Amino acid sequence: MIMADGESIQECFGAGRTTFSVEFFPPKDEAAADRMLRAAEDLRPYRPDFVSITYGAGGGTRETTMRYARALKEDLGFEVMPHLTCVGHTKEELLEILGEFREAGFRAVMALRGDPPKGEDSFSAVEGGFSHADELVSLARAHFPEFSIGVAGYPEKHPEASDFASDVTHLANKVSCGADFVTTQLFFDNASYFSFVGSCRAGGIEAPVLPGLLPVGSLSQIKRFCAMCGATLPDELTCRLEAAGDDSSAVRQVGADWAYGQLAELLDRGAPGFHIYCLNKSKVVIEALERLRADGRFRAE
Ligand X SMILES: Cc1cc2nc3c(=O)[nH]c(=O)nc-3n(C[C@H](O)[C@H](O)[C@H](O)COP(=O)(O)OP(=O)(O)OC[C@H]3O[C@@H](n4cnc5c(N)ncnc54)[C@H](O)[C@@H]3O)c2cc1C
Range in contact with ligand X (rule: CB under 6 A) among 141-149, 166-174, 191-199, 266-274: 166-174
Best CA proximity match to 123, nearest among 155, 160, 97: 160
**Residue 251 to residues 112, 190, 242, Cα–Cα distance (Å):** 32, 21, 8
Report the residue number, 167 or 257, with the smaller CB distance to ligand X.
167
Closer to ligand X by CB, 132 or 293: give it: 132
Q: Could you tell me if 83 and 112 are in contact, meaning their C-beta atoms sit under 8 angstroms apart? A: yes
Residue partners of 226: CB distance under 8 A and separation at least 6: 232, 233
What angle in degrees, to the nearest 10, is found between the helix axes of 283-294 and 248-268? 40
Q: Does the CA dihedral 167-8-300-42 come out positive or negative?
A: negative
Contact present, 109 and 83 (Cβ < 8 Å): yes
192 binds ligand X (CB under 6 A): no
Instruction: Provide, rounded to whole angstroms, the least separation between the CB of residue 245 and ligand X.
Output: 30
Of residues 23, 135, 156, 287, which has the active-site annotation? 23
Q: Is 135 labeled as catalytic in the residue annotation?
A: no
Which of helix, strand or coil describes residue 190?
helix
In whole angstroms, how close is the CB of 278 to ligand X at the nearest point?
13
To ligand X, the closest distance from the beta carbon of 53 in angstroms equals 8
DSSP label at 18?
-
23 backbone dihedrals φ, ψ, rounded to 5°: -110, 135
The reply to whether 113 sits near ligand X by the rule CB under 6 A is yes
Select from 7, 93, 100, 115 the one that contacts ligand X (CB under 6 A): 115
Q: Which stretch binds ligand X (CB under 6 A): 6-14, 107-115, 241-249, 256-264?
A: 107-115
* Residue 161 touching ligand X (CB under 6 A): yes
In whole angstroms, the minimum distance from the beta carbon of 150 to ligand X comes to 7
Is 134 near ligand X (CB under 6 A)? yes
Q: Does residue 67 belong to the site contacting ligand X (CB under 6 A)? A: no
DSSP secondary structure letters along 194-263:
HHHHHHHHHTT--S-EEEEE---S-HHHHHHHHHHH-----HHHHHHHHHHTT-HHHHHHHHHHHHHHHH
Does residue 212 bind ligand X (CB under 6 A)?
A: yes
**Chosen residue from 133, 149, 222, 256 binding ligand X by CB under 6 A:** 133
Backbone phi, psi, residue 6, to 5°:
80, -5
Binding-site member from 13, 24, 50, 55 for ligand X (CB under 6 A): 55
Q: Which of 160, 242, 247, 290 binds ligand X (CB under 6 A)?
A: 160
If one asks whether residue 56 binds ligand X (CB under 6 A), the answer comes out as yes
Q: Give the C-alpha distances (Å, rounded to integers) separating 154 from 113, 130, 167, 213, 271.
A: 14, 20, 8, 12, 15
Give least dist CB 172 to ligand X, A: 10
Q: By CB under 6 A, tell whether 114 contacts ligand X.
A: yes
DSSP label of 59: G
In angstroms, give the least distance from the CB of 288 to ligand X. Answer: 19
Interface contacts to ligand X, rule CB under 6 A: 54-57, 83, 85, 110, 112-115, 132-134, 152, 158, 160-161, 166-167, 170, 173-174, 183, 185, 212
Catalytic machinery residues = 23
